[in-house]
């Protein structure tokens, strides 16, 4: 069979027909492994709807989704977000949910170190306060994000998920967010949930220092922006819109290819 396929490729190549591998129809959905708010002892993790709603959008658009996390394995759900009366949350939970030592979360995720950027059309980072600890300046996140982006793919995130963009640089050393519009959990929202002094830094300020142009909407209301192949959303209410903008960006990328 391999011999016959090789002859087929050779025949088309000799006839002047370009033969390329199929474009990836995979989206990488990354969750945090971090389960505690600093040294407070208060549980955190990823925000369930910020994974479930994008997952639903991606699946409906015809994309396969790979769940991953910085370390791989168990990814904890922020208890505040564990609401299964939401249909998307419930569907996601039936597919991936489980418990480890009494903690609700995604039972198994892929470790970022074992993944290759060329396998994915896009990467999307779900939020939840846990992301503030294990997403920023993570070398595997930086490798995959820059790799996907520089191959013409799309990078997306929502709420605290854009913490993944902290420290991501392109091949020429330019921060991925430099000169780009970004929507992230705002300073006012962080103050409203009384975690300003708990998180390691204020995300909007940190991205602004890297050259991003924060786009701030009303507290806890939908606000998502697309700047080329970079898509970001401000808060949980923005997860669905951010996911739709990511699919829109992928559609634009596909239309631009010869």
Residues of the chain short of pLDDT 70, as ranges, are: 1-23, 258
Alpha-carbon distance of 45 to 84, in angstroms, equals: 16
211, containing H or E segment: none
pLDDT of residue 23: 58
DSSP code per residue over 90-135: HHHHHHHEEEETTEEEEEEEEEGGG--GGG-SEEEE--STTHHHHS
pLDDT per residue as tens digits for the range 97-134: 999 999 999 999 999 999 999 999 999 999 999 999 99
DSSP code per residue over 27-56: EEEE-----BSTTS--B--B-HHHHHHHHH
pLDDT of residue 10: 38
pLDDT of residue 254: 83
Model confidence, pTM: 0.91
> What phi and psi values does residue 12 have, to the nearest 5 degrees?
-70, -35
Q: Which pair of structure tokens corresponds to residue 23?
A: 């474009």
């Amino acid at each position: 069979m391999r011999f016959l396929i090789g002859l087929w490729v050779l025949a088309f190549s000799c006839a002047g027909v370009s033969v390329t591998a199929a474009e990836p129809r995979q989206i990488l959905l990354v969750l945090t492994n971090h389960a505690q708010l600093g040294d407070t002892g208060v549980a955190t993790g990823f925000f369930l709807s910020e994974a479930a709603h994008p997952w639903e959008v991606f699946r409906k658009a015809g994309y396969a989704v790979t769940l991953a996390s910085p370390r791989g394995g168990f990814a904890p759900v922020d208890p505040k977000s564990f609401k299964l009366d939401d249909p998307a949350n419930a569907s996601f939970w039936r597919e991936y949910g489980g418990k480890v030592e009494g903690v609700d979360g995604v039972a198994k995720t892929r470790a970022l170190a074992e993944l290759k950027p060329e396998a994915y059309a896009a990467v999307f980072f779900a939020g939840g306060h846990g992301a503030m600890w294990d997403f920023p300046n993570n070398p595997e996140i930086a490798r995959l994000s820059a790799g996907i982006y520089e191959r013409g793919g799309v990078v997306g995130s929502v709420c605290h998920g854009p913490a993944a963009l902290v420290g991501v640089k392109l091949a020429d050393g330019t921060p991925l967010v430099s000169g780009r519009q970004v929507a992230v959990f705002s300073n006012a929202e962080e103050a409203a949930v009384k975690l300003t002094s708990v998180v390691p830094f204020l995300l909007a300020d940190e991205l602004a220092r890297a050259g991003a142009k924060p786009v701030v909407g009303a507290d806890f209301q939908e606000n998502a922006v697309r700047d080329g192949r970079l898509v970001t959303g401000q808060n949980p209410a923005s997860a669905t819109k951010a996911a739709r903008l990511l699919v829109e960006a992928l559609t634009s990328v596909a239309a631009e290819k010869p």
